[in-house]
Amino acid sequence: MIEETPPPILPETFPAPLREIATKVRDGVRLDAADTMVCLTTPHVLHLGRLADTVRRRLHGNRTFFNVNRHINPTNVCVYTYNCKFCSFAALPGEEHAWEMSHEDVYKHAAEQGGNAVTEFHIVGGLHPDLSLDWYLEMMRGLRERFPNAHLKAFTAIEIGWFAKREKLSLAEVLVRLRDAGLGSLPGGGAEIFHPEVREIICDGKLDADEWIEVHRIAHKMGIRSNCTMLYGHVEKPEHKVDHLMRLRDLQDETGGFNAFIPLAYHPENNYMGLKYHTTGLDDLRHIATARLVLDNIPHIKAYWVMITPRLAQVALRFGADDLDGTVVEEKIYHMAGAGTSQQLSRPELERIVREAGFVPVERDTMYNPLTPRPAEAAVAS
Ligand code: V47
């Protein structure tokens, strides 16, 4: 078992470019943009990981979080199919691989594999031209009625922006209506890379950085918490990622509404980007470690096992990550883009992965409250 308290940092034992950063981490001083650039470019990724591990264990000791969740993608039909060149999930109406679920289909998917044992439904989809906000509100109310124990983490900022545009409503009005229908929190997707030099290449015409940030700012001010992400491993340069991380950190300083940051590794298959390489394991670890060191105000860093494999996610727990996401059950976005991982892990499998990495597995709800005993077990016992 990993000790809860990490050994002390001795900056003089770190390679030169990381010595100043090691001193700052030892003393609890915030890293700046120049330090972030060093983290994103140093060849000394193992040393970086050692620093991130220290911060992670200061925050979370030897605990590693996971949840029992299920992904649901009601539709992949998307008006931005040709805009988001990295996306392998989206389809135009009528295309062979397009799907649209009915409300009953959504409830059926929600009930599969555990139904009431699931504490979170993660619901995202394409920007469907014909599905109204009312259709989604009814879906949310239907889920809440049928699965009262499950938190509804649903709709990226891009979807919220689309609902506002389609219905000619303000962002706040859309969020209020969704919250009243059962929305619990927002997932972190759609952030990609904020910098316009990259955004114009990979997702021209989609919500820009200021708009993505505004959706999350409004949500946070209404008490709706959210996650945030960064898509790396394509055409971006380190300076674009420095800018991205600083913008997320600034918003968190302002609102405190982010629960977790998830670095997302670009997957190259079945999309229009024209790139053929997957990220490497070391690069994935570098992004997790950098995130832990730089985003000092975001409590959790997620190593999303679907994306980087359960094997690398185990290692990531020693590079700053404290959360593995969940059981997932059915995953489309990464599997349509070439992910070779399985679609689901059971609770015992997640616990085993965490234990064998030397940590204590803690099942959590979406807000990171530990679930011991689980609500279903408590109900049976009482
Ligand atoms: O917004 C799409 C990314 C995101 C590809 O909040 C791709 O808990 C790599 O945001 N290669 C959706 N990435 C996934 C997401 C997420 C995942 C897990 C947990 C949470 C959370 C959020 O996936 C999209 C986009 O940034 N994406 N296509 C691709 N080819």
Give nearest CA residue, ligand 1 atom 23. 189
268 CA: nearest ligand 1 atom: 30
Average pLDDT over residues 305-312: 95
Is any atom of ligand 1 closer than 6 Å to the C-beta of 304? yes
Tell which wins on pLDDT, 373 or 170: 170
The pLDDT value recorded for residue 113 is 67
Contact 92, 115 (CB under 8 A): no
Is any atom of ligand 1 closer than 6 Å to the C-beta of 218? no
The pLDDT value recorded for residue 341 is 85
Confidence of residue 206 (pLDDT cuts 50, 70, 90): very high
- C-alpha to C-alpha distance for 248 and 258, rounded to whole angstroms: 9
Give nearest CA residue, ligand 1 atom 8. 187
The pLDDT value recorded for residue 381 is 43
* H helix or E strand, kind and range, residue 264: strand 258-265
Six-digit token pair at 262?
């998830």
Is any atom of ligand 1 closer than 6 Å to the C-beta of 199? no
How confident is the model over 236-279, as pLDDT tens digits?
999 999 999 999 999 999 999 999 999 999 999 999 898 989 99
DSSP string, 271-325: SSS---PPPPHHHHHHHHHHHHHH-TT--EEB--HHHHHHHHHHHHTTTT--EEE
The pLDDT value recorded for residue 330 is 87
Angle between helices 238-255 and 209-221 (to 10 degrees): 20
Percent of the chain with pLDDT over 70: 96
The pLDDT value recorded for residue 287 is 98
- C-alpha to C-alpha distance for 85 and 60, rounded to whole angstroms: 37
The Cα-based distances of 162 to 20, 155, 171, 317 in angstroms read: 44, 10, 9, 36
Q: Is the pLDDT of residue 118 over 70?
A: yes
Expressed in angstroms and rounded, the spacing between residue 317 Cα and the centre of ligand 1 is 20
Expressed in angstroms and rounded, the spacing between residue 264 Cα and the centre of ligand 1 is 6
Q: Give, for ligand 1, the residue of 84, 151, 234, 264 to mutate: max count of ligand atoms closer than 8 Å to Cβ.
A: 264
Expressed in angstroms and rounded, the spacing between residue 333 Cα and the centre of ligand 1 is 7
Q: Is the pLDDT of residue 380 over 50?
A: no
Contact 224, 177 (CB under 8 A): no
**How deeply is 180 buried, as exposed, middle or buried, from its count of CB atoms within 10 A (0-12, 13-18, 19+)?**
exposed
CA 251 to chain centre: 16
Q: Is the pLDDT of residue 339 over 70?
A: yes
Looking at domain 66-287+298-381, its CATH architecture is Alpha-Beta Barrel (3.20)
Terminal Cα-to-Cα distance of the chain (whole angstroms): 33
Q: Is the pLDDT of residue 374 over 70?
A: no
Q: Is the pLDDT of residue 27 over 70?
A: yes
Is any atom of ligand 1 closer than 6 Å to the C-beta of 262? yes
Strand order in the sheet with 360-363: 323-326, 63-67, 360-363
Mean pLDDT for the chain? 94
Cis peptide before 373 (omega within 30 of 0): yes
The Cα-based distances of 159 to 162, 171, 322 in angstroms read: 5, 11, 28
Let me know how many helices (H) and strands (E) the chain has, helices first.
14, 10
| The model's pTM | 0.96
The pLDDT value recorded for residue 1 is 87
Task: Give me the residues paired with residue 337 across strands.
Answer: none
